[in-house]
Chain A
C-alpha cells in the first residue's frame, strides 16, 4: 500500500471512528434522557414504571390544588376523566397553571396514584392543551365507549 492510499485509509478510519463514537453517545444519551408520557389511566392500570423518569399529564381537577402553609410544597390532582393522579411538587408553578387546564409534569411515579414532579409545564396560550394530554383524554373517552373486556 503506497503512502497516499495509507493516508486516505487513515482519514476514512478516523471519520468512521468519530461517527461510531458519536453514534454510541447519541444512543446512550437518548436512552437515558427520553421520557415517555403516561396518562392517569395508563398509570392506574400499572402500565407506567415506578421510580423512573417519566412524564404525566391531564386536566387539573378543580379544588384539588393545596399549598403548604410553610414552604412551597403543593399538591394537586390531574385527570383524564377516567382516572385521577395526585401530583406532589415543591416550587413555583408556572404562570399558565390553572384548574381545568391541561398540564404536563416531569418526575417520578411512586405508586399507581401518586407522582413526585421535578417540573411542571404549561404552554403559552392558555387554551392550547399539550397534545399528549389531548391524546390521553381522547383515548380515555374511547375506552368508555368500548369498555375493556
Chain B
C-alpha cells in the first residue's frame, strides 16, 4: 500500500507542472489595452509614398478601414503581408503608414511583398506614429467611418486574430451611419 503511494508521486508532480503550463498559455503577451481606442485619429499631414497627394485623416473617412503600420526594415511585417493581400483582394480597405522608412526602400519592399494599400502615408520621422502611440511595426488600427479608432492590434495580423477581434467589430461599425 505504502509503495503505491510513492509511485503516485511522479504523476502528482507532473500534474502540478501541467497546471502551471496551462496558466502560462493564457498569459497572452499580445493583449495590449490601448488608450487610443475610442478617440479620433490625431490630425496629421504626410506625403504619400505613391504620388504627390497628401495623406490626412480625411482620406480614410467614409469607410471602416484598417490602418497598417509597417516598414521595409521590419522582418515580421513580411509575415502578415500575405494575409493583408488576401484581405485586400476580398475588398477590405487598407491604408498603410510607412514607419521610419526610406521611400525608396519602402517602394522596393512593396514591389517584392505586394501592395494591399489604397494609399500609404510616409511617416519618415515617426512623429505621427508617436501621436498614435505606436510601439513598433507591425501594428494595425481599425478605424470607423468617422475617423475614430475602434481597435488596435500590436504585432503580426493573423487569420485567427482577424476572425476573433476584427470581423465582428467591422460588421458593427459598418452598420453605423
A interface residue numbers (CB < 8 A to B) = 59, 62, 81, 100-102, 125-129, 131, 134-135, 137-138, 141-142, 144-145
Contacts and interface: CB of A to CB of B under 8 A. Distances in A.
A131 B136 contact: no
B133 A81 contact: yes
B57 interface: no
B35 A144 contact: yes
B32 interface: yes
A126 B75 contact: yes
Nearest to A62: B126
A135 B29 contact: yes
A101 B136 contact: yes
Contact of A141 (B33, B100, B137): B33
A101 B33 CA distance: 19
A55 to B, nearest CB: 16
Contacts of B35: 141-142, 144-145
13 contacts: A100-B100, A101-B136, A126-B74, A127-B74, A127-B76, A127-B137, A129-B136, A134-B32, A134-B154, A137-B32, A138-B32, A141-B33, A141-B34
B135 interface: yes
Nearest to B76: A127
A144 to B, nearest CB: 5
A137 B135 contact: yes
A144 B133 CA distance: 12
Nearest to B99: A100
A138 B74 contact: no
A102 B137 CA distance: 12
A102 B76 CA distance: 15
A86 B73 CA distance: 27
Contact of B136 (A127, A142, A145): A127
A137 B100 CA distance: 20
A77 to B, nearest CB: 15
Nearest to B129: A100
Nearest to B32: A138
A141 B4 CA distance: 53
Nearest to A135: B29
B75 A125 contact: yes
A134 B32 CA distance: 8
A102 B75 contact: no
Nearest to B38: A145
B133 A141 contact: yes
Contacts of B112: none
B76 A128 contact: yes
Contacts of B32: 134, 137-138, 141
B126 A100 contact: yes
Given A125-B75, A141-B34, A145-B35, A131 B29 contact: yes
Nearest to B154: A134
Interface in B65-108: 73-77, 100
Contact of B135 (A62, A129, A131, A142): A129
B137 A138 contact: no
A85 to B, nearest CB: 17
